[in-house]
């Protein structure tokens, strides 16, 4: 019995996130259907995280145990043959038996894309937030810097999906950059709460708009109250960029 770790890339526009759901098509569902066509079995596939409806992934990870002996590189090609065009498998590697795409995860990196131009971009519909007014990167980065380090992110967790336990997370990167008319926020942490990146973005856009000051971020964190933060930015701009594991697990 082998344990396989697969890296997927998907345009989430047409999907209700990763996780299988009743009455809605998920990426996990189309992936499991392709896997069944290739292997003839339907193993229990573990994803590194749920993702919201419309969220994209440049490198999403999932793992499953299989008796099938197909070589990893042939599995990649076979799955890509059966997967729809908005989902592709980038890589496959064998990992230790106790590896689990979600529980073995040490951290993730997300990016949030904003098309910052008076006119919408037809090529970025469903792929970026369209923001009309000029964004001041210095203001955004002053706010972004306040999130780096270990903090309780209760204020940045969707109130209707509060998990029990410690809501502290360590952010190791929180930075805005501009690429022409595209403005991108990159954030890495050891873990993320529900809607955390989208609320971080929505709050920082309030800083850009002058509704909040960058110096307000500390007070919002210490309030530990969702109502203290700004709105939840739309899902369409969000990309799961990378998933981090202990290197010995994922030797290629």
Q: Toward a second copy, which CB reaches closer, 78 or 167?
A: 78
Q: Please name every residue paired with 65 in a beta bridge, in sequence order, or none if there are none.
A: 3
Task: Give min distance, CB of 176 to a second copy, in A.
Answer: 21
Judged by DSSP in three states, 192 sits in coil
Residues that bind a second copy (CB under 8 A): 9-11, 56, 76, 80, 85-90, 119-123, 125, 127
Task: Give min distance, CB of 46 to a second copy, in A.
Answer: 21
Does the active-site annotation cover 11?
Answer: no
Q: Catalytic: which of 11, 44, 52, 216?
A: 52
Q: Toward a second copy, which CB reaches closer, 27 or 200?
A: 27
Task: Give min distance, CB of 88 to a second copy, in A.
Answer: 5
Question: Phi and psi dihedrals of 80, rounded to 5?
Answer: -60, -30
Which pair of structure tokens corresponds to residue 115?
């098309």
CA–CA gap between residue 144 and residue 153 (Å, rounded):
14
Q: Toward a second copy, which CB reaches closer, 90 or 159?
A: 90
Which pair of structure tokens corresponds to residue 96?
């230790």
Q: Tell whether the torsion through CA atoms of 186, 57, 7 and 74 is positive or negative.
A: negative
Collect all residues with Cβ–Cβ distance below 8 Å to 222 and sequence separation of at least 6: 152
15 assigned ligand-binding residue:
no
Tokens 């203001």 label which residue? 139
Provide the annotated active-site residues.
52
């Amino acid at each position: 019995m082998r344990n396989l770790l697969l890296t997927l890339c998907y345009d989430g526009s047409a999907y209700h996130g990763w996780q299988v759901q009743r009455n809605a098509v998920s990426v996990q569902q189309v992936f499991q259907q392709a896997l069944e066509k290739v292997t003839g079995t339907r193993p229990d596939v573990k994803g590194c995280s749920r993702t919201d409806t419309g969220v994209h992934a440049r490198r999403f990870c999932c793992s499953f145990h299989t008796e099938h002996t197909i070589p990893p590189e042939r599995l990649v090609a076979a799955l890509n043959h059966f997967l729809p065009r908005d989902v592709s498998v980038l890589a496959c590697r064998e990992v230790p038996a106790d590896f689990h795409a979600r529980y073995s995860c040490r951290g993730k990196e997300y990016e949030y894309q904003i098309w910052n131009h008076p006119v919408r971009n037809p090529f970025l519909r469903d792929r970026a937030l369209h923001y009309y007014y000029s964004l001041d990167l210095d203001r955004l980065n002053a706010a972004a810097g306040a999130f780096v380090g270990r903090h309780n992110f209760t204020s940045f967790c969707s109130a209707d999906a509060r998990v029990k336990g410690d809501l502290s997370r360590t952010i190791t990167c929180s930075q805005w950059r501009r690429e022409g008319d595209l403005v991108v926020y990159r954030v890495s942490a050891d873990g993320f709460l529900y809607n955390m990146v989208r609320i971080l973005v929505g709050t920082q856009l309030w800083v850009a708009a002058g509704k909040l000051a960058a110096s307000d971020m500390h007070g919002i964190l210490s309030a530990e109250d969702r109502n203290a933060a700004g709105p939840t930015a739309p899902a369409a701009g969000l990309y799961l960029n990378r998933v981090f594991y202990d290197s010995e697990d994922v030797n290629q």
